[in-house]
Amino acid sequence: MSSVEINGGIVVYEVLGEEDGIPVVLTPGGRAPRGFLRSLGGLLAEGGLKVLIWDRPNGGESDIQFGDRWPTESHMHADTLQQLIKHLGWGPTVVVGASAGARVSIITALEYPEITRGLFLWHIAGGIYPTLALGNAYIVENITTARKGGVEAVMELPHWKQRIEQNPRNKERFEALSSEELISVLKLWLSAFIPTPGQVIPGVRDDELATISAPTAIIRSGENDEEHPLLTCYSVHALIKGSKVVEPPWEEDAWEKAFANTLKTGGPNNAFALNDKAAPLILDFARTTGPGAGA
């Protein structure tokens, strides 16, 4: 495990594989920690890639980070990621992400094309129901809690309580925020999760998506995936010129089964176990993308 200070906060990360491998960064869904992609990262490292897995600010062991300099939390994560890649001294990197990680990866490719060798995505969230659900899950509960009980009450929410347990610095970072400041930032970030015409991806305009020039591959969503609609998948494909859609390496209803089990048991989302099956697709994409591809 390594760490570096970026934008005034500590970011925790690991690098797997050989130094001379093709550089790849993995970003998971939700606010999940880097450990959810360590198994996939190990498979890619065994295949000869150099793999970065990281804890985004507000997830895992990294410091929490709130600020109105970024229009969304995903933009903050993309900014952090590009600085992390430059800190490592890497050149253009294959940027890989699922669900919320796909959103971060898209924004990274959009705003920082100089560090994006290629873009590999799956479980892309979009559409009315998923977008509203994300806004509620990431933002609304925190605003409501802050209004009722201040920052102290927010710190007691399960996600943030775990961030403090894993990283005691986060207690002081929360205590340095006023309720008004936290609510103001959260309201700004909430605006991305209002379904808006011309925004297939929350917080990203379609005309911006159309400017992405990095080679892009998208694993097709399941036909009945309510959280990552098939329409969103193909809309992103249509907007990113030259992108390709590949068939999923898991069963058609794999996400639905995993998510339903999570809702039933209340346990962790075992849909993350699907990620390892994407390893052969990512290896092939990385080897055929960017400088020296096919050499």
Query: pLDDT at position 257, please?
Result: 83
Query: If you write DSSP's letter for every residue of the chain in order, what string do you get?
Result: -EEEEETTEEEEEEEES-TTSEEEEEE-STT--GGGGHHHHHHHHHTTEEEEEE--TTSTTSPP---TTSSSHHHHHHHHHHHHHHHTT--SEEEEEETHHHHHHHHHHHH-GGGEEEEEEES---SHHHHHHHHIIIIIHHHHHHHHHHHHHHTTSHHHHHHHHH-THHHHHHHTS-HHHHHHHHHHHHGGGS--TT-SBTTB-HHHHTT--S-EEEEPPPTT-SSS-HHHHHHHHHHSTT-EEE--SS-TTHHHHHHHHHHHH----GGGGGGGGGHHHHHHHHHTSSTTTT-
Of the pLDDT bands very low, low, confident and very high (cuts 50, 70, 90), residue 295 is very low
Cβ(81)–Cβ(25) below 8 Å: yes
- Average of per-residue pLDDT across 37-49: 97
Structure tokens at 238: 């249509």
Provide the β-strand partners of residue 51: 16, 24
Query: CA 219 to CA 100: how far, in whole Å?
Result: 15
Query: pLDDT at position 204, please?
Result: 97
Residue type, 32: A
Query: pLDDT at position 293, please?
Result: 65
The answer to whether residue 183 scores a pLDDT higher than 50 is yes
The answer to whether residue 110 scores a pLDDT higher than 70 is yes
For residue range 259-293, what is the model confidence (pLDDT) as tens digits? 777 777 665 566 677 899 999 999 999 999 876 66
Provide the β-strand partners of residue 246: 219
Q: What CATH superfamily is the domain 2-136+197-287? A: Alpha/Beta hydrolase fold, catalytic domain (3.40.50.1820)
Query: pLDDT at position 252, please?
Result: 86
The answer to whether residue 160 scores a pLDDT higher than 80 is yes
Q: What are the sequence ranges of the domains in the chain?
A: 2-136+197-287
Q: What percent of the chain has pLDDT over 90?
A: 88
Query: pLDDT at position 92, please?
Result: 97
The answer to whether residue 80 scores a pLDDT higher than 90 is yes
Query: CA 236 to CA 241: how far, in whole Å?
Result: 9
Higher pLDDT, 169 or 295: 169
The answer to whether residue 45 scores a pLDDT higher than 70 is yes
Structure tokens at 65: 């980070």
For residue range 22-40, what is the model confidence (pLDDT) as tens digits? 999 999 999 999 999 999 9
For residue range 226-268, what is the model confidence (pLDDT) as tens digits? 899 999 999 999 999 999 999 999 988 888 887 777 777 665 5
